[in-house]
Copies of this chain bind each other. A is one copy, B any other.
Amino acid sequence: MWFVYTETPTVGMAAPVRASERAYRQLRGEILDGILTPGAGLLEIEQSARIGVSRTPLRAAIARLIADGLVAGRPGRGFMVTEMSVDSIRELYEVRRALEEHAARIAADRRDPAVFLALRDQFLAAPELLAQGTAGLHRYYDLIDEFDDAVGDAVANPFLVGALATVRTHLARIRRLARGNPDRLRSAATEHLLIIDAIIAGDTSLAAHATHVHLQQSLTNVLAAIQGQPTGPVA
């Protein structure tokens, strides 16, 4: 109606991004970035007006967010962003451990060595990357994403990849809390290297155990970071 479909900045992309997709991505991003804080109420009318779509696609977006576990419906009180308690973080890591260990084990069995050899070189350069400020930090997180994707490609199991994606969605909310601890990130890079070496060597057991150690360290760090700043880390 009042807005036209001419907002396709990328050349060649004739994809008329659906309104429900835009609303979903925006709300999801805002929840993950902490702009929409846990407990915040999501009113359909309010949000649809803010984002610039009607209620119908917004409802579709909220339905997807509920499926993601990022939003919960209250009995007669609309919707709200789900809380992330310390207990739920422990619970999340419990599942994450089961899935990532299994994934690492399988990846060590089915991997394409070349892919992980390339990743190995990049992780070796991680310490230098972390000395480059914010840009290097983002680059480092992208690198972790690449590693996760490589593992996902290696396991080649849509169910497992999907379950991991769900876990990582919630993880993204947690990661904000512990972000920017250089010492921890350097340690994490070392742990990732160990996992990668195990995968390259095809050592399924070592890959699983190295993943276990890494996740335990990660959880410890996250919990410590939360203790340091117990107040909600609202941006």
A31 to chain B minimum Cβ distance, whole angstroms, is 16
Interface size (A, Cβ < 8 Å)?
Answer: 39
**B160→A73 contact, CB < 8 A:** no
Say whether A97 faces chain B, with CB atoms less than 8 Å apart. Answer: yes
**A4→B72 contact, CB < 8 A:** yes
| Among A42-50, A86-94, A122-130, the stretch in contact with B | A86-94
Using a CB–CB cutoff of 8 Å, the interface residues on chain A facing chain B are 1-6, 56, 59-60, 63-64, 66-69, 72-75, 88, 91-92, 94-95, 97-99, 101-102, 106, 157-160, 162-163, 166-167, 170
**A163→B163 contact, CB < 8 A:** yes
Q: Which residues of B contact A159 (CB under 8 A)?
A: 69, 88, 91-92, 94-95, 167, 170
Contact of A97 among B72, B75, B102 (CB under 8 A): B102
A56 to chain B minimum Cβ distance, whole angstroms, is 8
Jot down 9 A-B pairs with beta carbons below 8 A, ordered by A: A5-B73, A59-B60, A69-B162, A91-B158, A91-B160, A92-B159, A94-B157, A95-B157, A99-B163
**A67→B102 contact, CB < 8 A:** no
**B69→A1 contact, CB < 8 A:** yes
**B60→A158 contact, CB < 8 A:** no
Tell me the nearest residue of chain B to A170, going by C-beta: B159
Q: Which residues of B contact A64 (CB under 8 A)?
A: 63, 67
Q: Most B CB atoms within 10 A — which of A60, A95, A97, A157?
A: A95
Alpha-carbon distance between A92 and B160 when the two chains are bound, in angstroms: 8
**B163→A95 contact, CB < 8 A:** yes
**A4→B95 contact, CB < 8 A:** no
**A6→B75 contact, CB < 8 A:** yes
Q: Which residues of B contact A75 (CB under 8 A)?
A: 4, 6
